[in-house]
Amino acid sequence: MKERFAIGFDPFVLPFLVGMVFVLGYCLFGLFRILWQLPREDRRKFLLSLITPATALKNIWDIFCNCLLHVKLWKRNKMLGFMHSSIAFGWFMLILLGHLEVFIYCPERVHLFYYPIFFNYFVANNESTIGGAVLFFLMDFFLLLVLSGIALAMIKRVRSRLFGMRRTTRPSMLDRIGLYSLWAIFPLRLLAESFTAHISGGSFLTIPANWVFRQFLGNDLNLLPTWWAYSIALGIFMVVLPFTRYMHIPAEMMLIPMRNAGLRIRHPRKGFAKMQVLSCPGCGVCIDACPMSVQKVNIKDCTVYLNRQIRRGNEKRIEEISDKCLLCGKCEAVCQVGVEGPKMRVAQRSVRRYGLTPDFAAIDTAPLVQAAAAQVSKAAAGPKVLYFSGCMTRLTPSIGKAVTSLLGKAGVEFTWMDREEGLCCGRPLLTAGRIDAALALIRKNQEIILGSGASVLLVSCPICYKIFTERYSLPGVRVVNYADFFAELLEQGRLKLEKSDICYVYHDPCELGRGCGIYETPRKLIGQAAGIAEAEKNRAESICCGGSLGSLTLDFAHREVMTRKALDNLYGSRADAIATACPLCLSTFRRYSDRPVRDLAEVLDASTVSSFQP
Amino acid sequence: MIDFGFGLSRSSSVKLDEVDLGLYHKLEALEPGVRVCMSCGSCTSTCTAGPWSGMSVRKLILNLQRGKDVEKMLSCCMLCGKCTMVCPRGINTRHLILSLCRIYGKKQ
Amino acid sequence: MEKIAIIGGGIAGMEAARRLLQLGHEPVIVEKSDHLGGHVAGWYKLFPDMMSARELVEQLAAGLDGVTVYYRTRVANMNRLGSGYSVMLSNGVNLQCGAVLISTGFRLFDASRKEEYGYGVYDHVVTNSDLEAWLGGAPDYRIPDNPASVAFVHCVGSRDLKAGNPQCSKVCCMTAIKQAIEMKEKFPQADIWCFYMDLRLFGKKYEDFYIAAQRDHGIHFVRGRVSEVSEDIDGRVVLKAEDTLAGTPVKLSADLLVLMSGMLCNEDTQSLARMVRADVDSDGFMRSRDNIYRINESNRPGIFFAGACTGTKTVPETVGEARAAALDIHNYLSGND
């Protein structure tokens, strides 16, 4: 290997150089800004995590798996996984090998940014090193890999359905420029390296191509223009990158360490939220996932569009999108980079200005505490169980009735905290972004629960359960979901089930499944009480029933379409009946379902055979 | 002055042609559902906050339609959504309440 | 003599068949259940004259001598054939008819869909139709022996978007008052409560019933829709509503809750409409050519309607419409239209 030019420079590298300096400068500046925006404690936490060996290693591993190999995407969709990882990993290897070449053959040029990129232009091959052949082979191999990815990307643009995507985002003008320059980079590199292969050497791809070209191109006049074109394509791509969705490439590499450091969204637009917005690749996986997208009018209200509007600063649309969302969390579950769609929206809602703030000071909890305490104290030995059914359960009395019956059969004495009158758990206020009011309500409920002297808080509504576990401070009280509680009673032999011959399909309520991570216990219980079938979309990908309180603006007619869609998914299992574990899902499905819909407690109650004898 | 045993006080009747419906019209623009209320009272009787604050979406809408102030009633709303669930006309009462709170925010 | 298929052997189908027979045609009744008279056959007394429902059905049946009736039979398919229709029945019979009368009637709203009222969950909740059957002598364990208070809830599954039916079912207000009076007569000591949104008592003598209910029977009327029902430890139902006239939330413990289930379009109506490409209206019922002058006529030639398949109807309206439809069909077949 020997250098062709003593000065090691040619003007064609300038477009690349400008782009590179610009993008690096922009990203570094942006990173410092975001770090600056983080609250002090978060910043400390983040910087500390970077130097903690365990998290640092995890960061590297996660970045390698997610940003380069796209492991999560592979699991979801092989074609998309190959497309993305071939481009990302292939390109990464091209850069890495380029540096390796420079390092081995002309170490004095290591400090030059452009040298590894345009290595083949600047060196001439003297066919002396076998190592060179291996490197050249690898370079060609990875170039081919990237080109295959680019080819798939082009096909995907035209026929996204081949990749299992029903809908993708509409790229903006700048996105298109970025996209086309990205597509152009690698074919141009192939051309440039092929034209140069008789000078600099090459491998299985570039040498035959060089031979073909030389059959009809007699001279080397076309050599420099292709290198220019290659450099310009790179330059354009890097200059537009910060303003396109390709910003996700550098952003995701910073989002992963931030998430691993345990940061949370504190401000709707700044810091961690900003990092999430920038990390959104605009792939549009969330569009197909979103339960609202069954209607065309709602497609532009998916998380990918929220991120886009936040980047554009379109306040009106940001508000519309944030208020409409059901907060079912499915976009987050399927998101490849981990954008927290629901939390982003709640953060947007939380900064809204209201002239009236709820004031719960007038609520005197003393009578409620007394009533609960009087009954709790009557309970015999054993855990003192306080049952909180929640507001919604008043409209679905079958749940309360079944829970009462089951507890009676198991011989569990309990106090029904909100049988007559009770307060809301606070989650609806929280999701509406009225966080202070929610906290005030939480304090009121804490007074009642702690004042009652109970040791177990049994909760049947997953909406309440989520906030009880996440936001309440209840020392000495064990908060337990009814599914877990019944599972324990079964294990202890206090409940006995006999399998009925009805077959249920279990619908995972958003709040219990994605919200609290409880997927298996209800299935296990239903499996013991009756037959169980699975819908096509289940567990983390279960479809929201459409009744969610998360949405502030969706009206009744629009929700109906979503409910019917979710029901179709459940009907697909061919089960006789539908089982769920949330009062809101229950009443929403019951409104339209053509087959029975039962709550988990009802299913169990119907199959309980023996009563507990103390 | 002779005491007649009764006094002249201002009539408590609402002059429908003179009431200021500014607030109601603002709310209408944000939540058109408010127009279809038929005063069945489902929202009031199911209200979680009702026992503590006299909260009543039905009264709230009616008062707005008669040009009265409703600020006090909203103070205990927990946004629990039961009123939305039971409304036979499908009014998005939660959005109605939030919109009203925002209108009050812009007034000051 | 041309055959006329009458789909549905309720009071509309029976009356139309009787009249068509008199006019010299050959009506054939296709009935999905095992008896004639439809819903009315299960009822006790009919307002406003408190005539026995059974008597009416018997009277109508008496005029059907010579009419073929297929019980437990449905229409499998129906096609235009020449100037008439070929009607395939589920029992394998194929009818060649000059005209078809759709008199499929209505279906009662399934009260368990309004779960907050506890039908099927609590022990003492019945529907208007259950009560009617009990009044007619059928035993019902849900109805206590000596109730101290009985509550009627109007508009269950009517005027309710959430129940999928925004329309008024028209007859439930009057039915509630009739049944309230009947209950009061059975249990003079009981307090009877009616929870209504609006009282729609539009027919001849209906207001008399309202006045009698107030004046002679002391029935309590509360203007407010019941939003939720719970059950106390003694198994009584506890209703929550707002007394919208007084502006206060109210609670009532009752020994029996009667839900006035509304009238919905029959499920079969939709599939029948598809067979002959007849229009279905936005409320789910059949669409008449107009709702003023040609209620009996469909948009297809030779397809006629009678009774509650085009919307909620009272018994006298249904019977009158059936008679009109018979005349329409007669004129259509004799070409004097």
Encode A124-187 in three state secondary structure: ECCCCCHHHHHHHHHHHHHHHHHHHHHHHHHHHHHCHHHHCCCCCCCCCHHHHHHHHHHHHHHH
pLDDT band, very low/low/confident/very high, at A164 (cuts 50, 70, 90): confident
Tens-place pLDDT, residues B48-66: 998 888 889 999 999 999 9
Full residue range of the structural domain in which residue C58 is found: 3-105+266-333
Tell me, yes or no, whether C132 and C253 share the same domain: yes
Residue B71 lies in a domain: yes
DSSP states of A184-219 as a string?
HHHHHHHHHHHHHHHHH---TTHHHHHHHHHHH--S
With an 8 Å Cβ cutoff, are A358 and B94 in contact? Answer: no
Mean pLDDT of A402-425: 92
Tell me, yes or no, whether C273 and C299 share the same domain: yes
Rounded to the nearest angstrom, the minimum Cα separation between C156 and chain B is 10
pLDDT of residue A342: 95
- What is the distance of C-alpha A288 from the center of its chain? 14
Give the pair of three-digit tokens for residue C205. 């003598």
pLDDT of residue C130: 97
pLDDT of residue A134: 84
C-beta atoms surrounding A153 within 10 Å:
18
Distance CA A586, CA A164 (A): 31
pLDDT of residue C105: 95
Nearest to B86 among C159, C227, C247 (CB): C227
Nearest residue to B89 (alpha-carbon basis) of B37, B23, B47: B37
Burial of C45 (0-12, 13-18, 19+ CB in 10 A): middle
The answer to whether residues C300 and C99 touch, using CB atoms and an 8 Å cutoff, is: no
Tens-place pLDDT, residues A296-337: 889 899 999 999 999 999 999 999 999 999 999 999 999 989
CA distance between the termini of chain A: 89
Return all residues near A451 (Cβ < 8 A) that are at least 6 apart.
A365, A369, A372, A373
Q: Does A555 touch chain B (CB under 8 A)?
A: yes
pLDDT at C210 over 90: yes
Tell me, yes or no, whether C20 and C117 share the same domain: no
Rounded to the nearest angstrom, the minimum Cα separation between C252 and chain A is 13
The model's pTM: 0.91
Nearest residue to C223 (alpha-carbon basis) of C192, C246, C251, C240: C246
Q: At what angle do helices A315-324 and A303-312 cross, to 10 degrees?
A: 160
Q: Does C110 touch chain A (CB under 8 A)?
A: no
Which residue has better confidence, A101 or C143?
A: C143
Buried b (16+ CB within 10 A) or exposed e, C7-38: bbbbbbbbbbbbbbbeeebbbbbbbbeeebbb
pLDDT band, very low/low/confident/very high, at A580 (cuts 50, 70, 90): very high
* A366-490: CATH topology: Rossmann fold (3.40.50)
pLDDT at C294 over 90: yes
Give the pair of three-digit tokens for residue C266. 């029959």
With an 8 Å Cβ cutoff, are C164 and A591 in contact? Answer: yes
pLDDT of residue A127: 61
pLDDT of residue A61: 95
pLDDT band, very low/low/confident/very high, at A128 (cuts 50, 70, 90): low
pLDDT band, very low/low/confident/very high, at A540 (cuts 50, 70, 90): very high
Mean pLDDT of A410-418: 92
With an 8 Å Cβ cutoff, are A401 and C115 in contact? Answer: no
The answer to whether residues C321 and C296 touch, using CB atoms and an 8 Å cutoff, is: yes
With an 8 Å Cβ cutoff, are C115 and A395 in contact? Answer: yes
pLDDT of residue A498: 92
**Residue-level length of chain B:** 108
Distance CA C245, CA C249 (A): 10
Mean pLDDT of A141-148: 94
Residue B9 lies in a domain: no
pLDDT > 90: what percent of chain C? 93
With an 8 Å Cβ cutoff, are C224 and B41 in contact? Answer: yes
Is A2-246 a domain of CATH 1.10.3470? no
pLDDT at B1 over 60: no
Tens-place pLDDT, residues A233-273: 999 999 999 999 999 999 999 999 999 999 999 999 999 99
Mean pLDDT of A332-356: 92
The answer to whether residues A490 and A497 touch, using CB atoms and an 8 Å cutoff, is: yes
Domain boundaries, chain A: 2-246, 251-350, 366-490, 496-607
pLDDT of residue A126: 67
From chain C residues 200-239, the ones with a CB under 8 A of any chain B CB are 223-228
pLDDT band, very low/low/confident/very high, at A168 (cuts 50, 70, 90): confident
Which of C229, C263, C297 terminates a domain? The answer is: C263
With an 8 Å Cβ cutoff, are C226 and B59 in contact? Answer: no
Give the pair of three-digit tokens for residue B32. 């058109």
Per CB-CB distance under 8 Å, the chain A contacts of B98 are 354, 432, 552
Mean pLDDT of A362-386: 87
Q: Does C163 touch chain A (CB under 8 A)?
A: yes
Class of domain A496-607: alpha beta
Q: What is the CATH number of the domain that holds B69?
A: 1.10.1060.10
With an 8 Å Cβ cutoff, are C115 and A397 in contact? Answer: yes
Q: What is the CATH number of the domain that holds C11?
A: 3.50.50.60
Which of C243, C263, C283 terminates a domain? The answer is: C263
Rounded to the nearest angstrom, the minimum Cα separation between A34 and chain C is 47
* Domains held by chain B: number: 1
Which of C208, C234, C263 terminates a domain? The answer is: C263
Nearest to B50 among C223, C224, C249 (CB): C249
Distance CA C103, CA C307 (A): 6
The two domains A366-490 and A496-607 share their CATH topology (first three levels equal): yes
Residue B16 lies in a domain: no
* Domains held by chain C: number: 2
Buried b (16+ CB within 10 A) or exposed e, A6-39: eebebebbebbbebbebbeebbeebeeebbebbe
pLDDT band, very low/low/confident/very high, at A610 (cuts 50, 70, 90): low
Tokens 């607030």 correspond to what residue? B23
Burial of B85 (0-12, 13-18, 19+ CB in 10 A): buried
pLDDT of residue C270: 87
Rounded to the nearest angstrom, the minimum Cα separation between C117 and chain A is 8
Distance CA A595, CA A577 (A): 6
pLDDT band, very low/low/confident/very high, at C337 (cuts 50, 70, 90): low
Residue B13 lies in a domain: no
Taking the CA of residue A321 as centre, how many other CA atoms within 13 Å lie in the half-sphere pointing to its CB?
27
**Residue-level length of chain C:** 337
Question: Which contacts of B23-26 are long-range, i.e. CB under 8 A and separated by 24 or more positions?
Answer: B23/B64, B23/B67, B23/B69, B23/B70, B23/B103, B24/B64, B24/B65, B24/B67, B26/B103
Distance CA B86, CA C190 (A): 29
With an 8 Å Cβ cutoff, are B56 and C161 in contact? Answer: no
Return all residues near A36 (Cβ < 8 A) that are at least 6 apart.
none
C-beta atoms surrounding A454 within 10 Å:
29
Q: Does A420 touch chain B (CB under 8 A)?
A: no
pLDDT of residue B108: 57
Distance CA A50, CA A30 (A): 18
Mean pLDDT of A427-436: 94
Full residue range of the structural domain in which residue B65 is found: 22-107
pLDDT at B2 over 70: no
From chain C residues 87-116, the ones with a CB under 8 A of any chain B CB are 116
Alpha-carbon distances of A515 from A274, A340, A343, rounded to whole Å: 23, 12, 12
pLDDT at C141 over 90: yes
Q: Which amino acid is at A593?
A: S
Tens-place pLDDT, residues C149-169: 999 999 999 999 999 999 999
Mean pLDDT of chain A: 91
Class of domain A251-350: mainly alpha
pLDDT band, very low/low/confident/very high, at B4 (cuts 50, 70, 90): low
pLDDT of residue A133: 80
Residue B102 lies in a domain: yes
Q: Which residue of A has its CA nearest to B89?
A: A556
Tell me, yes or no, whether C185 and C66 share the same domain: no
Q: Which of C168, C230, C242 to mutate: most B Cβ within 10 Å?
A: C242
Q: Does C319 touch chain B (CB under 8 A)?
A: no
pLDDT of residue A87: 94
Q: Given CA atoms A89, A92, A98, A103 in this order, what sign does their dihedral have?
A: negative
Per CB-CB distance under 8 Å, the chain A contacts of C113 are 590-591
Alpha-carbon distances of A156 from A69, A143, A246, rounded to whole Å: 19, 20, 17
Which residue has better confidence, A109 or C57?
A: C57
